[in-house]
Chains A and B, each alone.
Chain A
């Protein structure tokens, strides 16, 4: 009997053949975050991951989707069954969303990408199809390759397919906006906001759930400011900063430029680029060892590094 995770999908096997076992290679999605991790070496061969939703079981809340599928198309298919996922809708592909690992602005409600990937299939530097994780919503079988792959920028393997955890779309979803509320009072005022965004002046809160709960939460918000319904979240500036939630209170426009901060997560979208970050020496060395184990010749996404992302 062949192992449960053995790959027999000819589409995936053909993708593995295309990636092959030699020469610099990278997978291109919609290039919405193409600059992340540094410039790709110019003689890198580009491949595109296969597309399509392979299996979707709303009752299991899991969907098996090929990496080249656009997140919008994926979410349209889920929405037909009243579901969605944690992958951010920003014009990219499922594989790109996993490779970059950025969370959606409403990640408090939709969940984080790092916990949404149940199983990952990728083509290794040796051109082999490798699977990690498993198809079920709960699984601790073996080492956690899906966690390692989220945010790896395709430097450890080129993604071919994933099984993504899905979630029900709540009955009601509303955005509220206030000019006078303290954004940092929101987490202790309402139980599970799906998003709290703050631009230094105004606060946006996304409330989701049963209509009756959303109405009562809206009433509770009245205690900390005057909130009105809004069309949606504010436009998010281009650059992304990663801060501790507690650091947001001391954000300085002189450093960030105009910003929108996600209270409760610490993500900040700003007009100014984030200051460069670097890994501690020991973590940097471990990162290099990891890259060398998975890609000894450095052929996957050459030029890109998670250490400078």
Chain B
């Protein structure tokens, strides 16, 4: 196991690359007949576009790209894939950071793009039925006039899709109080790799049977394709207060977070940014963050006006007791919106500093935040990599951001090596490999730091029940050897097809 040689490992997985123009492919012909010629793309350009997602990983090899519009079309694609013994990979907006959407073994890529309808908003049951290609923020914008929103709010919410949120069990700053995607999915219509369409879960209080809906959420596209989702809609809070606390050191900010939770307050969000990222954000959007502080803590409480005033005051007191040098509350909605714009565009702000970044995603117990952050800075320094920290502190979800220029020889390897040590430090502190980005191809090789062979064997059993031949998104999540027929699926690419 190593953080290096990712591209070598992926190259081994992805079969041969002939470098030639594809010959007329019966697979493509079947897909075009099932959908339509203009919704199945097989050109080199289209395939090249699907090779990557928002992660740093390369080495993906895509097969034909399909844009189904109905559940029946997804079923047809699955049956064609089975007939041609080809893998399939679901794709939302491609914003994943763990390489979960990278096609391995020239699979059929099933894009959710054209399944983007908000089918129904059911105020009596307080759910919205949506297709997988609906953009997260579009759903919330649709619900706002009705007095509701969709609670998970990943930083990529302006582009990421609900189908992708389901696949990754996505989080976001406001999941501290409201829970991640799994808590908000009540029913799922999915198409299994066999082509069978099933409804998992239900709108009733305690649906009969195993919680297959819960097992499906966060499975990173390895169990099938989501064609429709019933998500809970959350009432908008009548009042909200947003505080900005400044500290000399990130340790003080981290310790304040632990103290707030220990005090019995569960804020809507608790986000920390270190000085480097705060400076970058200020240069980028001018959100009003202090650039001379060692770290800032963005704390938000929502609910009823009187109660959150008490919580906001208490958060200020706790902050001051833990070394806050300044505490201010956003006085207007505009000021609040600007602070959040700064937080949510933090990753875009990095472009001023270096062309590439690698965003990590571990979770540690809140009490260990300060110590693990110290280690993260030390690790980055040892590897001569610039690190910035912007993270969901309230639930201990670290997001060390390694900023670099991939054109510099050896830099990406140094970034991977540093990342590997950050993972090890997080797990050693009693934490986990991923809080919200998933495992994808990024962290498969580290799964044995958390899980025993028996544990991973049982995860593989869950997968096999849905997908006995591992046709859906092979080569992801579980390390090779723990994942049924992954290897067979990846080797099944006809050699004449690929370029």
Q: Show the binding face of A for B, using Cβ within 8 Å.
A: 1-6, 57-61, 82, 101-103, 112, 114-115, 124, 128-132, 134-145, 147-148, 150-152, 156-157, 167-168, 187, 191-192, 209-210, 212-213, 216-217, 240, 242-247, 262, 264-267, 277-280, 282-283, 286-287, 289-290, 292-294, 306-307, 309
Contacts and interface: CB of A to CB of B under 8 A. Distances in A.
A135 B306 contact: no
Task: Identify the 4 closest CB pairs spanning chains A and B, nearest first.
Answer: A147-B214, A246-B124, A266-B205, A59-B262
B235 A191 contact: yes
B240 interface: no
A138 B365 contact: no
A62 to B, nearest CB: 8
Nearest to A282: B198
Interface stretch (B14-22, B80-88, B246-254, B435-443): B435-443
Interface stretch (B105-113, B332-340, B460-468): B460-468
Interface stretch (B32-40, B268-276, B411-419, B426-434): B426-434
What band does the interface of chain B fall in when counting residues whose beta carbon is under 8 Å from A? 35 or more
B430 A4 contact: yes
Given A135-B430, A282-B198, A267 B395 contact: no
Given A5-B450, A141-B432, A306-B210, A283 B198 contact: yes
B395 A245 contact: no
B447 interface: yes
Contacts of A213: 303-304, 306-307
B448 A141 contact: no
Contacts of A283: 198-200, 209, 212
A213 B367 CA distance: 31
B200 A4 contact: no
Given A57-B367, A138-B396, A150-B211, A143 B459 contact: yes
Contacts of B168: 140
B450 A148 contact: no
A283 B196 CA distance: 10
Interface string B206-245: 1111111011011100000000000000010110000000
B364 interface: yes
A282 B449 contact: no
Contacts, number: 264
A306 B208 CA distance: 7
B99 to A, nearest CB: 14
B210 A139 contact: no
Contacts of A209: 303-304, 307
A290 B461 CA distance: 8
A60 B464 contact: no
A245 B179 contact: no
B447 A141 contact: yes
Contacts of A265: 205
Given A168-B266, A282-B198, A6 B182 contact: no
Contacts of B466: 286
B444 to A, nearest CB: 10
B206 A128 contact: no
Contact of A128 (B204, B367, B392, B454): B454
B455 interface: yes
B458 interface: yes
Contact of B211 (A124, A151, A192): A151
Contacts of A156: 210
A203 B443 CA distance: 51
B435 A129 contact: no
Nearest to A279: B209
A292 B367 CA distance: 41
B183 interface: yes
B186 to A, nearest CB: 10
Contacts of A216: 304, 306
A17 B393 CA distance: 40
A148 B211 contact: yes
B175 interface: yes
Contacts of A130: 452, 454-455, 457-458
B258 A59 contact: yes
Contact of A150 (B214, B238, B449): B214
A282 B191 CA distance: 11
Q: Say what secondary structure dominates the interface of chain A.
A: loop
A90 to B, nearest CB: 14
A289 B461 CA distance: 9
A246 B180 CA distance: 25
Contacts of A1: 449
B328 interface: no
A212 B306 contact: yes
B230 to A, nearest CB: 11
A247 B203 CA distance: 10
Given A59-B262, A130-B454, A138 B198 contact: no
A210 B310 contact: yes
A246 B171 CA distance: 28
B160 to A, nearest CB: 15
A136 B477 CA distance: 19
A2, A147, A168, A264 pick with most chain B CB within 10 angstroms: A147
B397 interface: yes
B363 interface: yes
Nearest to B196: A282
Contacts of A266: 203-205
Nearest to B436: A140
Contact of A191 (B124, B304, B456): B304
A290 B168 CA distance: 22
Given A145-B462, A240-B206, A242-B207, 19 more contacts: A4-B450, A60-B261, A102-B206, A129-B454, A130-B455, A136-B365, A136-B430, A141-B433, A143-B459, A144-B169, A145-B458, A151-B209, A156-B210, A192-B303, A209-B304, A246-B124, A283-B212, A293-B461, A306-B208
B397 to A, nearest CB: 5
A309 B306 CA distance: 44
Nearest to A115: B183
Contacts of B51: none
A129 B452 CA distance: 10
A143 B462 contact: yes
Given A140-B169, A213-B307, A135 B432 contact: yes
Nearest to A277: B208
A132 B458 contact: yes
Contacts of B208: 242, 277-279, 306-307, 309
Given A57-B367, A136-B395, A242 B205 contact: yes
A307 B438 contact: no
Contacts of B304: 191, 209-210, 213, 216-217
Nearest to A209: B307
Contact of B450 (A115, A134, A279, A290): A134
A136 B266 contact: no
B478 interface: yes
27 contacts: A4-B451, A5-B455, A57-B365, A59-B261, A102-B206, A103-B206, A136-B431, A137-B363, A140-B437, A142-B447, A142-B451, A142-B459, A143-B215, A145-B458, A167-B266, A210-B311, A212-B310, A242-B204, A242-B205, A246-B203, A266-B204, A282-B197, A282-B198, A283-B199, A286-B192, A307-B208, A309-B208
Given A103-B206, A142-B447, A242-B208, A134 B432 contact: yes
Nearest to A148: B215
